[in-house]
A and B are shown apart, each in its own frame.
Chain A
């Protein structure tokens, strides 16, 4: 674990559609590689929450959060000036050595793509959302084509690209069928984020392994059933 834990101040809290963009003072924390994540203390809750880095402008770390549970609601209720503890960067990010990148994201799964897009020089992206309101988050990713349900990202994916994706499991499975060479960022419940709790086990290469240690970015072949 080459991660640091630091107590940082909230710089800004922005509403983007149904999501909240939490901007945190970076301090001495390294933002890591796109696709890596931090464990964010969820105020009043026993466990922190894993959040991939959405933006890493100078002096800040940005996290895009969907307030769907007790922890994420507590995080979204934070105000500028509040403090929270962050541990990271954790896990393995995307391999950035790709020739023809195409970013594919779905819903809150677009969270790591703004940071990834910047790192790759703003390549084309296809983002899928369940509603126009959710699709407001597409403003964070330049060069993005937006599809809204009932259309799916897989219907809009051009062939011949190096796909880097993040989104709901069904989307990732569909992307993997189309592009077996894709890099996919997965999600699982995690208590620690650094390999201690064994809670985030997923089937990788036919065995149950810890997503926080092996991933969260995995080659599509590794997880294809």
Chain B
């Protein structure tokens, strides 16, 4: 199991020591043209997490390829590039531009940013166009804000995605306690942190059952126990987002906590726990001693 950062939750060039602790660094989403992002205020804390409305601020693919990517490659950590567009052809173009860059280990299709107005085409179309444009490993990052995320996951699988990143944030609203006006400039923003965890777990659980694809699970992971739950729901890898903001050392901490969980439960290795939450899988008990597997 690898520990990644959630896209947009770490600038590896500003905090390289944090990025080097990761197994994979995922870039902030790159779009065809530079984007300044949304006006301030862009973030607001809520009781069980935070809202953000950054708006895909990034320097655009030209600048990314010429300036940022060569410097990111010097970190010595595999680089996944998150890409976002506003039309199917834009995703295809971005993937095409990245396809011959050896620094890029994988491409993550961000088809689910909640903070931009333009709604792109269907997930299946985007993945199919991206698949045609690149031989790179392709992950598709989905939104939990849909009636049936497993159906979207199946469409992405049919169109050729190699894996799924689950989940992106889900829209929320926070009001100023005094004025009762929205605290973010765009009113609503993406909810992340502990409040997102049960929603994300459900998406991982459903998509694992529906597709069997490799899944990067994310959404409110703040401790090793959270990470293990995502693995049990079906995640092969996990990503950290909001917890990196409060604790830049959380990559190392959570990895150690997870190792401790595995020892305590007698699982042997984290990968042995992938999907154990599902019916028919072998259950794992919490115990100071390894326990005999129990068939369900």
Contact = CB atoms under 8 A, between A and B. Distances in A.
B42 A201 contact: yes
Nearest to A202: B40
24 contacts: A1-B14, A1-B18, A5-B247, A5-B248, A41-B246, A46-B45, A46-B47, A46-B49, A47-B242, A70-B45, A189-B44, A191-B43, A191-B45, A191-B50, A194-B15, A195-B14, A196-B244, A196-B245, A197-B245, A198-B42, A199-B42, A199-B54, A200-B40, A208-B57
Contacts of B247: 5, 85
A47 B50 contact: yes
A46 B46 CA distance: 8
Contacts of A207: 36
Given A47-B246, A201-B42, A195 B52 contact: no
A46 B194 contact: yes
Interface of B: 8-11, 14-15, 17-18, 28, 36-37, 39-50, 52, 54, 57, 193-194, 242, 244-249
A71 interface: yes
Interface string A1-30: 100010000000000000000000000000
Given A46-B194, A195-B14, A201-B40, 14 more contacts: A48-B245, A48-B246, A70-B45, A71-B45, A189-B40, A189-B41, A189-B42, A191-B50, A191-B246, A192-B248, A194-B248, A195-B15, A201-B57, A208-B37
Question: Of B28, B43, B46, which is in contact with the most chain A CB atoms at under 10 Å from its CB?
Answer: B43
B248 A197 contact: no
A173 interface: no
Interface of A: 1, 5, 39, 41, 45-48, 70-71, 85, 87, 188-192, 194-202, 207-208, 213
A191 B40 contact: no
A198 B59 CA distance: 13
Contacts, number: 101
A199 B15 CA distance: 16
A98 B49 CA distance: 42
Contacts of B46: 46
A47 B36 contact: no
A213 B292 CA distance: 52
Given A191-B245, A197-B43, A201-B40, A1 B15 contact: yes
A61 B8 CA distance: 32
Contacts of B42: 189, 198-201
Contact of B50 (A46, A188, A196): A46
B198 to A, nearest CB: 16
Given A45-B45, A47-B50, A198 B8 contact: yes
Contacts of B248: 1, 5, 87, 192, 194, 196
Nearest to B52: A199
A192 B40 contact: no
Nearest to B177: A69
Nearest to B194: A46
A208 B44 CA distance: 18
A196 B37 contact: no
A208 B41 CA distance: 12
B164 to A, nearest CB: 24
Contacts of A71: 45
Given A47-B245, A197-B43, A198-B57, A1 B37 contact: no
Nearest to B14: A195
B37 A46 contact: no
Contact of A189 (B18, B36, B43, B47): B43
A194 B247 CA distance: 11
Contacts of B242: 46-47, 191
A47 B45 contact: yes
